[in-house]
A and B are shown apart, each in its own frame.
Chain A
Amino acid sequence: MQAEAAQITATERISLGSQGRRLAGPALAVGLAGLAAGFGLGWLRDDGLKHFFHSYLLNYCFFLSLSLGGMFFVLIQHVTRAGWSVSVRRLAEILAANIFWLTVLVLPLVVPVLLGNSALYRWNDPAAVAGSELLQVKTPYLNPAFFGVRALVYFLVWWCLGRYYLGRSVQQDVSGDPELTIRMERRSPAALILFAVTVTFAAFDWLMSLEPEWFSTIYGVYFFSGAVVGGLATLILAAIGLQAAGYLRDSITTEHYHDLGKLLFAFVVFWGYIAFSQYMLIWYANIPEETTWYLARQSGPWVWLSLVLLFSHLLIPFFGLLSREAKRRKAILGFWAAWLLAAHWLDLYYLVMPSLCGGRLPLGAIDACLLVGVGGIYAAGVFRVASACALVPQRDPRLAESLAFENI
């Protein structure tokens, strides 16, 4: 078995090529149409684009988190010198390198803040700040200039990381130089630290500051855990989709799905652990300064959303992904991956929307339009990056190990 699978079979399709490029155009068009429709609906609401911005933030962070999850996957495979994952790693590298469009897509969030708009972030409203001593004390951090500088830093770091790890990996496709692997591994610990710091503070800046009086030190980890769940689910669905379209039929085996499924299961539990940690500490201390955030999320109709989130993001997928068979069958694993992707979106909805309005669940066509809008542009970016390289790191020194990999 090991001798046969030492390299990719000659008939294996490993490059999207023109097919991918042809998909990018329609995806971009659909995305732009969705954005326009969403903007139109938001304008019609006549609320100063408040709902538009919240919905846009939610959908943007959703797609951003998929790339960040992919980036995390790439970095931990390098830092652990993993061999099993090489045949799926390129897919994660592609996700992580989709930073250009994500940078463009963040402009509708950052630029209005720089221009003084406070529809999204109350701390940008001088009147609100003047009326709250708490906000005044936080002004050295929560001010538009520093906010903009930090956003620049995050994207610079993510750009460098995404481009570096995809770039070196693609370079190795041609040269086959093992030195590239060694270098990528050596840089991965520092890369992980940079990743952790930027993701944490991005979560603080864009999501936690929606409620500027509130804070939670575990918030960054909470966002990160959801991002990894989303990223892994996307990887699984991408692998299944590509294999269904005829690509990578032999490179990605049941064993890879099994391991991706194990990681997905682990991070579902990790998300539950972090979510509960944040909840329990605030619940137990019962300090009014901290409980407001959860009070908003268990008042009125929001209590149902919280319960649905608990069951759909943790309790049900836990038992669904528990068995070995579930992780080794594409149909079952794919089902749970899709389920968890939806649950991850619901998680971000739960984080963002309560600061829009308290008494009701503001779900509407605008959310669907912006999901398609941001998603279309994001997908276009993914197709373009994917079309420019092979879908497997052809000359990675550990590819043979990955192809022959067997779970117990």
Chain B
Amino acid sequence: MSETSPTPSEPAAEEPLAGLVAQFTSPEALKKAAARVRDEGYTRWDAHSPFPVHGIERAMGVRRTILPWLVLGAGISGGMAAILLQWWTNAFDYPHIISGKPLFSLPANIPVTFELIVLLSGLTAFLGNLVLNKLPEFSHATFRSERFRRVTTDGFFISLDATDPKFDEAAARALLESAGAAAVDACRVAAPARLPAVVGWALLVLGVLATLPPVLTLWYRSIPKRSPRIHLIQDMDFQPKYKTQAASPLFADRRAMRPPVEGTVAVGRLREDEYFHFGRTQDGWARSLPMEPTDELIERGRQRFDIYCAVCHGYDGAGGGIVSKRAIERMEPDWATPVSFHSNAVRQQADGQLFHTITGGAGKMPGYAALIEPADRWSIVLYIRALQLSRNAAAGDVPDEIRRRLP
């Protein structure tokens, strides 16, 4: 009776009725009407407004949601999962010491735990809200009402679903009008629209094309090919420089590696002094140092020995350095124990021979010429002599002040 003339979008009356939608002019009117509908016992209906209306849940009789409990459960699960993850991966499956901390250390594990609690709680709140509200709902019969478009600006509406057990079109219309509705529209279910044929064909074509990449990939992985693989991100992989033993078109002898110019010696490489550089004289091994032995030289020798030599030969020169100990412990098959400097054989070696051994190596020992300067190598020789003396000295070698203190 009070229904206004059909709006342009109201379809023909043969379509089934989805429900009624009624417009109200203010939030207070909406709340009053909602309370009326609630009291009548309707259960499948909703109120719509452009902004949240305080108290509408009470007016509608909306029950409290279980979402907070879901979020709490998710948060607790997230926390436990994070602790379990970190314990299992770092303390159980692959025990790994990080930063000297205990394998399972709570302070270090808290950040991840906190984040996972927050993540699961947040995701559950968001997704739970959608799911519990049965969203997303892509279409609803109320959208077909022209009047209902005002709901996003200044319209307040109540929609009654025709599937409600108490629904009867005439009674519902009367209720809404007596509750103060400015207008009541019928919403009709549209016949489900058919998808255009083009969409189907397009999906089919896309589906077929989508099989190409995996098929091609599998094909290419199974056949041998002569050409190198496609190298997309080249970085600095191909550089315009000549590597060792490469050919170069720039030189007559076509070598990229150039020998030194005839008749020249590189700076610092002129090893004229055989004595100093090789420990050799015309008569054989050098029998003494090429420089004056001083306290500073011995101290330098001690420092260099401790750095380079002690790992194998031991700090006392007796051959029990940690490298040797470990190799023996691990039963390395081709390990030769480092010689002890206190053996007769080594004690009888000349200084120059010791120097030569340091320079070029002997047996398992590599040469240290590249690591240690010649002067430092001589200082090490001096120190080795001091070590040898420490195990093989006569009483007369001890200085007087110290001898007096000995028992």
Task: State the A residues within 8 Å of B (CB).
Answer: 1, 276, 279-280, 283-284, 286, 322, 324, 406, 408
Cα-based distance from A374 to B92 in the complex (angstroms): 54
B60 to chain A, nearest CB (A): 13
A283 cross-chain contacts in B, Cβ below 8 A = 107
- Interface flag for B52 (CB, 8 Å): yes
Given contacts A284-B99, A284-B101, A286-B100, contact A408 B52 (CB under 8 A): yes
Which positions 31-76 of chain B face chain A at CB distance < 8 Å?
A: 52, 54-55, 57, 68, 72
User: Could you tell me if A408 and B54 are in contact, using CB atoms closer than 8 angstroms?
Assistant: yes
Find the A residue at minimum CB distance from B54: A406
* The one of B52, B57, B72, B107 that contacts A280, using a Cβ cutoff of 8 Å: B107
Given contacts A286-B100, A408-B57, contact A276 B52 (CB under 8 A): no
**Please, could you name 18 A-B residue pairs with CB atoms under 8 Å apart, sorted by A?**
A1-B55, A276-B107, A280-B107, A280-B108, A280-B110, A280-B111, A283-B107, A284-B99, A284-B101, A284-B107, A284-B108, A286-B99, A286-B100, A322-B72, A406-B54, A406-B55, A408-B54, A408-B57
B129 to chain A, nearest CB (A): 13
Find the B residue at minimum CB distance from A285: B99
Which positions 82-130 of chain B face chain A at CB distance < 8 Å?
A: 99-101, 107-108, 110-111
Cα-based distance from A348 to B57 in the complex (angstroms): 44
A276 cross-chain contacts in B, Cβ below 8 A = 107, 110
Find the A residue at minimum CB distance from B31: A1
Chain B interfacial residues counted at CB < 8 A: 13
B54 cross-chain contacts in A, Cβ below 8 A = 406, 408
Nearest first, the 6 A-B pairs at minimum CB distance are A406-B54, A283-B107, A280-B107, A406-B55, A284-B108, A276-B110
A1 cross-chain contacts in B, Cβ below 8 A = 55
Cα-based distance from A276 to B108 in the complex (angstroms): 11
A318 to chain B, nearest CB (A): 11
> From DSSP, what is the main secondary structure of chain A's interface residues?
helix
B174 to chain A, nearest CB (A): 28
Extra 18 A-B pairs, beta carbons < 8 Å, given A286-B100, A408-B54: A1-B55, A276-B107, A276-B110, A279-B107, A280-B107, A280-B108, A280-B110, A283-B107, A284-B99, A284-B101, A284-B107, A284-B108, A286-B99, A324-B68, A406-B54, A406-B55, A408-B52, A408-B57
Cα-based distance from A271 to B11 in the complex (angstroms): 61
A164 to chain B, nearest CB (A): 33
**A/B pair count, beta carbons within 8 Å:** 22
A285 to chain B, nearest CB (A): 9
A406 cross-chain contacts in B, Cβ below 8 A = 54-55
B52 cross-chain contacts in A, Cβ below 8 A = 408
Find the A residue at minimum CB distance from B108: A284
B66 to chain A, nearest CB (A): 13
Cα-based distance from A183 to B368 in the complex (angstroms): 80
Which positions 122-165 of chain B face chain A at CB distance < 8 Å?
A: none
B68 cross-chain contacts in A, Cβ below 8 A = 324
B55 cross-chain contacts in A, Cβ below 8 A = 1, 406
Find the A residue at minimum CB distance from B28: A2
Cα-based distance from A279 to B99 in the complex (angstroms): 16
Cα-based distance from A319 to B252 in the complex (angstroms): 86
Cα-based distance from A16 to B25 in the complex (angstroms): 44
Query: Which of B52, B55, B99, B107 has most A Cβ within 10 Å?
Result: B107
B13 to chain A, nearest CB (A): 40
A284 cross-chain contacts in B, Cβ below 8 A = 99, 101, 107-108
Find the B residue at minimum CB distance from A283: B107
Cα-based distance from A322 to B52 in the complex (angstroms): 24
Find the B residue at minimum CB distance from A282: B107
Cα-based distance from A65 to B106 in the complex (angstroms): 31
Find the B residue at minimum CB distance from A276: B110
A199 to chain B, nearest CB (A): 26
B72 cross-chain contacts in A, Cβ below 8 A = 322
B57 cross-chain contacts in A, Cβ below 8 A = 408
A283 to chain B, nearest CB (A): 5
Cα-based distance from A1 to B58 in the complex (angstroms): 13
Cα-based distance from A283 to B107 in the complex (angstroms): 8
Cα-based distance from A324 to B67 in the complex (angstroms): 13
Find the A residue at minimum CB distance from B101: A284
Find the B residue at minimum CB distance from A3: B28
A131 to chain B, nearest CB (A): 32
Cα-based distance from A408 to B99 in the complex (angstroms): 48
Find the A residue at minimum CB distance from B27: A2
A275 to chain B, nearest CB (A): 12
B215 to chain A, nearest CB (A): 50
Cα-based distance from A324 to B57 in the complex (angstroms): 16
Cα-based distance from A283 to B72 in the complex (angstroms): 30
Find the B residue at minimum CB distance from A255: B54
Find the A residue at minimum CB distance from B68: A324
Find the A residue at minimum CB distance from B111: A280
Find the B residue at minimum CB distance from A273: B114
Find the B residue at minimum CB distance from A406: B54
Cα-based distance from A1 to B54 in the complex (angstroms): 10
Query: Which of B54, B57, B108, B111 has most A Cβ within 10 Å?
Result: B54
Find the B residue at minimum CB distance from A281: B107
Cα-based distance from A121 to B339 in the complex (angstroms): 63
Cα-based distance from A280 to B110 in the complex (angstroms): 9
